[in-house]
Amino acid sequence: GNNSDKHILVIDDEETIANYLKDFLETQNFQVTRICNSTLALELFEKSSSQFDLVITDQTMPEHTGLEITELFLQKRQIPIILCSGYSDLANGTTALKAGCVGFLTKPINSQKLLKLIHANL
């Protein structure tokens, strides 16, 4: 399908990573909203979850982890969520899928793997 009508929410407290993902996904013609604060991300999703088609979230962030965000988002509505995590984190593929994520990627994120996961879930 056509990516340009798909809107992806990127949540990562590291601005360089959030910006990298936004720039990369925009080269693939997705609409992207990036947010570097997990609490703001929850507020945004609470207000306007229906505008997003897919979420990419980091696991380790101040205030809320990616798994917490996943739980809270999925209570609001069923949306594909991809969890990204450093190798030393508690989260892994098993915990991510158990929490309801559609996929799990370790950092540094492989952009082609990410793209495959997105396309498989949109």
Tokens of 37: 């604060």
Residues near 107 by Cβ (< 8 Å), separated by ≥ 6? Answer: 17, 84, 85, 86, 87
Find tokens 């991809």 and name the residue: 82
**pLDDT greater than 80 at residue 88:** no
pLDDT digits (tens, 9 = 90+) for 26-80: 999 999 999 999 999 999 999 999 999 999 999 999 999 999 999 999 999 999 9
Sheet of strand 81-85: strand arrangement:
31-35, 7-11, 54-58, 81-85, 103-106
Please determine, for residue 2, whether its predicted confidence score (pLDDT) is greater than 90: no
Region 14-29: what's the mean pLDDT?
Answer: 97
